[in-house]
A and B are shown apart, each in its own frame.
Chain A
Amino acid sequence: MLKTRIIPCLDVKDGRVVKGVRFEGLRDAGDPVEAAKVYDAAGADELCFLDITASREARGTLLDIVSRTAEACFMPLTVGGGVRTVEDVRALLLAGADKVAINTAAVKDPDLVARAAEKFGAQCIVVAIDAKRVSPPGAPASWDIFTHGGRDPTGIDAVAFARLVAGKGAGELLVTSMDKDGTRSGYDLALTRAISDSVSVPVIASGGVGGLDDLVAGVAEGGASAVLAASIFHFGQASVAEAKAHMAAAGLAMRLDGPASSARTPL
């Protein structure tokens, strides 16, 4: 049986993890490769790097991190942030990413998704959708796409956009609620559900996890195939193993193979 995936996400800026990961025995809390190794050993189902470096010049740093991670971790890796062209996708895949997430560029040019999927296969093209609720209170819920970290409205309906890019060949959608991101009040389950019900590709719920019940709700109520979280794992509030045990106890099918290899475990 296919299992629900737990995906820790690391925000990377100029080659460093933005909010350091707090793990026992971690030599360098800001080194994305070190953090990746810990999550590999902890049994994470995938890992996501989101590059928030502003400059294009620092691109080589990201590629180096991806390459060193892929050589050290035998787990799937998704990388996003600043992907604008088919060449950007190719460079990340060649560096060792298994999947590449396209965000703003897919909003500007949805055909980029088609070109990338035809070249590399739909299975490695993720479209990252950042959405905010725009419906007035009491009205049926609707969400629009926002770019640039939730600052710039596009006026594009998030559910319609999800259908569009899935049709263009996106193999997976990473759906982040910009209303919920950083609030620790749980995913926007209505948003996750609205998109999950509208497309035939897997949806990753993202933005707002405050506790382990939020992960359960993302799947049970949101209809997500995978749940992404950052701070609850990075700051040791919960281990990946605890999250899996909690979700399994709630009746979700989880992969409980145990640690991949070495001894180092999250706090």
Chain B
Amino acid sequence: MSTETVAIIDYGSGNLHSAAKAFERAARESGHAARICLTADPEVVAAADRIVLPGVGAYADCRRGLDAVPGMVEAMTQVAHRDARPFLGICVGMQLLATRGLEYTTTPGLGWIPGDVGPIKPSDPTLKVPHMGWNTLRPARDHALLAGIPIGEDGLHAYFVHSYALSPESPDDVVARADYGGPITALVARGNVAGTQFHPEKSQRLGLALIANFLNWRP
């Protein structure tokens, strides 16, 4: 297999070395010859075989950071839509796939997975927000990103830390949910574009397995 390039987009949103190391380890452990590349260069993104959009922080701040890199949104749109290469958003990176975010102010997203990102409102008022910590996943449909990963109430856990969640317009875009006083969208996918609300790079076994699946994903 020829070596693939995986671009992790660096647009000033938090530390990405941890994410890069998690991808390197997942690649190594799954025998996948991938070159993991942290980059703020739209040309590197445009040429990459797989693209990861991380994101930590407030929605509007992340969107501003992305827009501040000239040509980045265009490069992402090209690889994700014209070239249909595997694309993974993580946390706010996943939320940015939505139509708009409603954190502090209304901010336009990329609109690739139609829906809004709104505040979590657990039905049980004693449940704390942020939704913070380790939760199990409930599958909504089969997906290559979850292949071979034991999930469900007795399965592995994913690490969440967020106060806002994506509500996709189409339930078909939802691959897995977490339960926290109601359903929380945990994993979305439409064609070659996917996103996790949880942090695979912080989710130990489940996270490394999901990253390995992403590296082998042929949408």
Residues of chain A whose beta carbon lies under 8 Å from any beta carbon of chain B: 1-5, 40, 43, 45-46, 67, 70-72, 74-76, 93-99, 118-124, 171-172, 200-203, 225-226, 255, 257-258, 260-261
CA distance A72 to B21 in the complex (A): 8
Q: Which residues of the partner chain A approach B128 to less than 8 Å between Cβ atoms? A: 200-203, 225
A76 touches B202 (CB 8 A): yes
Q: Which residues of the partner chain B approach A99 to less than 8 Å between Cβ atoms? A: 161
Q: Which residues of the partner chain A approach B136 to less than 8 Å between Cβ atoms? A: 1
Chain A nearest CB from B214 CB (Å) reads 15
Decide if B190 is an interface residue (CB 8 Å cutoff): no
Sampled A-B contacts (9; CB under 8 Å): A2-B131, A45-B134, A71-B21, A74-B21, A98-B56, A123-B162, A171-B130, A203-B128, A261-B204
CA distance A25 to B205 in the complex (A): 23
CA distance A29 to B8 in the complex (A): 34
Least CB separation from B200: chain A residue: A74
Q: Which residues of the partner chain A approach B163 to less than 8 Å between Cβ atoms? A: 121-123, 171
A200 touches B18 (CB 8 A): no
Known: A3-B157, A94-B14, A98-B161. A172 touches B132 (CB 8 A): yes
A76 touches B17 (CB 8 A): no
Decide if B203 is an interface residue (CB 8 Å cutoff): yes
Least CB separation from A122: chain B residue: B163
Q: Which residues of the partner chain B approach A226 to less than 8 Å between Cβ atoms? A: 133
A2 touches B133 (CB 8 A): yes
Q: Which residues of the partner chain B approach A121 to less than 8 Å between Cβ atoms? A: 56-58, 61, 92, 163
Decide if B208 is an interface residue (CB 8 Å cutoff): yes
CA distance A84 to B69 in the complex (A): 30
Chain A nearest CB from B68 CB (Å) reads 15
